[in-house]
Amino acid sequence: MDSSDLKSPSYYSNRDLSFLEFNQRVLAQAQDETLPLLERFRFLCISCSNLDEFYEIRVAGLKQLLDLGTLLIGTDQLPIDSQLEAIHGRALQLVHDQYECLNEVLLPALQREGIRLLQADEWSPEQRDWLREYFRHDVEPVLSPLGLDPARPFPRIQNKSLNFAVQLSGKDAFGRDSELAVVQAPRSLPRVVPLPANPDGGYVLLSTIVEAFVDLLFPGMEVRGCFQFRVTRNSDLFVDDEEVDDLRRALEGELAHRRYGAAVRLETGEDCPTEVTEFLLQQFALEPLDHYAVPGPVNLNRLSALYDLVPRTDLKYPPFTPAVHRRLLAAPDLFAAIRQQDLLLHHPFQSFAPVLDFLRQAAADPHVLAIKQTLYRTGAESPIVDALVAASHAGKDVTVIVELRARFDEEANIELSNRLQEAGAHVMYGVVGYKTHAKLCMVVRRESDGMRRYCHLGTGNYHLQTARAYTDYGLFTCQEEIGADVHEIFLQLTSLTRTPTLRRLLQAPFSLHEGLLALIEREQQLASQGRPGRIIAKMNALVEPQIIEALYRASCGGVQIDLIVRGVCCLKPGLPGVSENIRVRSIVGRFLEHPRVYCFGNDGDAKLFCSSADWMERNFFRRVEVAFPILDRELRDGIIEDLKLYLRDDRQAWLLGPEGRFERVLPPGQGRISAQQELTERYAAAAQTSLTT
């Protein structure tokens, strides 16, 4: 097929509508009766948090583009105004499904388990008395009711904060009439309040408490109504890298404004009167299309606190302990183990602890001269950073590339960069105009036969918490060519050098995109010669149009392509004459599927890369990314077996159809194979076997 034909907008799904479809799959976990009840509740909260971020970043960005006069941005050629209208319609259905799941499914199921989230009309007299005192002593002192009149304009409302519009009648102490007041709930107040076990126990939402006792804030006035509302604001930070002298200071200035970016969405309780809703929309300069009236708390994602408050392990996933890699059980010297053979970790099925041990051992080893590391997301209290600080105090030359612009981790990254600098480490912020998203660590060690570079390359962040919740691969190697490539990349990030010529790694923004196009074309050429062309790729998102077009061409040429895409997918599989040889599936389960793996058949001698990069424009052209080959045949074949297992999954898998919609492979509870569960059991059994032999 001619390349121009493969650019038809009808062959591409809209990126943002595809994200909403992904979030529907997350919500489906909350609706799945085969899962533990509190885990279902947690998935509901995750779907709400995902939707918040979608509005803060994606919808906010579309609104900005529309204001600038931009009409089209995507390969699907859907005009931005039509896209915003379609988003609203799809999001309305999603929000309806979220609250239906909460009110009609999860809350009654929790009630049957003795976990009661009580409304005001369900309080016993003793509970009401206790909550009144709680309001007086813990809530009222930190509330600041704000009456609205010409001398008291509408207050600044923080992004995603819980607020109440209070309708009043009567006169205050100064004889002033004020028909409306605003009460803002500080973030310091817990959103879920546990009641004393004696006599009845249960839980109450902060919003319910404020609504019940709001009259105590307005003595002498009549409260005619109290209505929740919440506004979502543009939370994308803008810093012109080329116009600032100090990126850290510029970001610190932007962070102060994030809470008050342009409003993009208004949520109110469904009982909010029309006149109050219209007033709020006017104050936030929003249109009716930006309003969502919900039958429940407007801050639904904050209900996630209930998961930790309820001490019911029987309603949660069974405790999970990551297995220790069998080769490390009796090999405390990581450097010796890596010299013997490359070492591959598969998180969270295998422990992330060896990565931390790698740094700690390097910090204490007198033969180690230098450590270089990239940090994208690592957490505010990070043992990784502690190890790097210890290494610097021990006299090692420590260089850390800290990505200050990791979205929503900017503040934590500024703090950890300060810690590292105070310890004497060299801290750099990457390259102007590009986020450093690659996951790299290199230890330089003097040994009897000369200097040796030990490297860790990963698909996920150096973050201990997410390493227990996200699936990822991490490779330890001291292979000379890979070490030399990692060295060249660090030189590029810390000094002024030309584009390096890499021997083994593919790097964005230089060789990754064209390297993948060449690998896809190679499979197409093999298929044209009558040999099997084969591609299996796993990633979080598939958006970039040139890659999609190349996959379409390969499919037309007879290449068999299986894609495992967790989230957004703009490619449409199964289109007659275009993508009949492409299959797309998504896995949504206990662990968040996070690794990027690209496998090309290569005429029977597979080439396999693990990477930090999704197949998106930003990863190829606006970030520093790395794809690293798995050269050890045993490790490569093991990853291929993992991919094949995911392709057999029929319990947590969804298949994408040519119309751009995902459907479950089988209804909940009917499948036999869960890749995540099988991997958990497989790695645990391997570790146990190593302990007993």
Distance, CA of 310 to CA of 332 (rounded, Å): 39
pLDDT exceeds 60 at position 256: no
496 & 511 share domain: no
Query: Would you say residue 548 lies in a domain?
Result: yes
| Domain-terminating residue out of 504, 524, 550 | 504
Q: What stretches of 21-138 adopt beta strand conformation (E)?
A: none
Query: Would you say residue 2 lies in a domain?
Result: no
| Domain-terminating residue out of 440, 475, 504 | 504
Query: Would you say residue 73 lies in a domain?
Result: yes
pLDDT tens sequence across 212-228: 999 999 998 899 999 99
In the chain, % of residues over pLDDT 90: 80
pLDDT exceeds 90 at position 693: no
Residue 335 sits in a domain whose CATH number is 3.30.870.10
Q: 330 pLDDT band (50/70/90 cuts)?
A: confident
Contact 373, 388 (CB under 8 A): yes
Average pLDDT, stretch 356-372?
97
pLDDT tens sequence across 188-214: 899 999 999 876 789 999 999 999 999
What is residue 179's predicted lDDT score, i.e. its pLDDT?
85
Active-site entry in 325, 347, 437, 513: 437
526 & 455 share domain: no
304 & 417 share domain: no
Average pLDDT, stretch 75-103?
96
Burial 197-232 (b: 16+ CB within 10 A, else e): eeeeebbbbbbbbbbbbbeebbeebebebbbbbbbb
| Domain-terminating residue out of 471, 504, 537 | 504
33 & 181 share domain: yes
Query: Would you say residue 486 lies in a domain?
Result: yes
Radius of gyration of the chain from its Cα atoms, rounded to whole angstroms: 27
Please tell me the least confidently modeled range out of 246-250, 375-379, 435-439, 545-549.
246-250
Phi, psi dihedrals of residue 155, rounded to the nearest 5°: -75, 165
Q: What mean pLDDT, rounded, does the chain reach?
A: 92
What is residue 242's predicted lDDT score, i.e. its pLDDT?
47
Query: Would you say residue 321 lies in a domain?
Result: no
Q: 244 pLDDT band (50/70/90 cuts)?
A: very low
Residue 62 sits in a domain whose CATH number is 3.30.1840.10
DSSP H helices, 149-221, are 206-213
356 & 338 share domain: yes
Q: What is the DSSP string of 492-540?
A: HHHS--PPP--SS-EEETTTHHHHHHHHHHHHHHHHHTTSPPEEEEEES
pLDDT tens sequence across 285-300: 999 999 999 999 998 8
Q: 380 pLDDT band (50/70/90 cuts)?
A: confident
Q: Is the N-terminal amide bond of 199 cis, ω within 30° of 0?
A: yes
The pTM for the full model equals: 0.93
76 & 119 share domain: yes
The total number of structural domains that make up the chain: 3
Distance, CA of 48 to CA of 1 (rounded, Å): 42
pLDDT tens sequence across 554-576: 999 999 999 999 999 999 999 99
What is residue 174's predicted lDDT score, i.e. its pLDDT?
55
Average pLDDT, stretch 449-454?
96
Q: What stretches of 422-465 adopt beta strand conformation (E)?
A: 426-428, 435-436, 439-447, 450-458
613 & 682 share domain: yes
pLDDT exceeds 70 at position 3: no
292 & 388 share domain: no
Q: 510 pLDDT band (50/70/90 cuts)?
A: very high
628 lies in which domain range? 507-692
Distance, CA of 568 to CA of 580 (rounded, Å): 20
Q: Is 96 a catalytic residue?
A: no
What is residue 429's predicted lDDT score, i.e. its pLDDT?
87
Burial 134-148 (b: 16+ CB within 10 A, else e): bbeeebeeebebbbb
pLDDT tens sequence across 266-286: 999 999 999 999 999 999 999
399 compared with 501, residue with greater pLDDT: 399
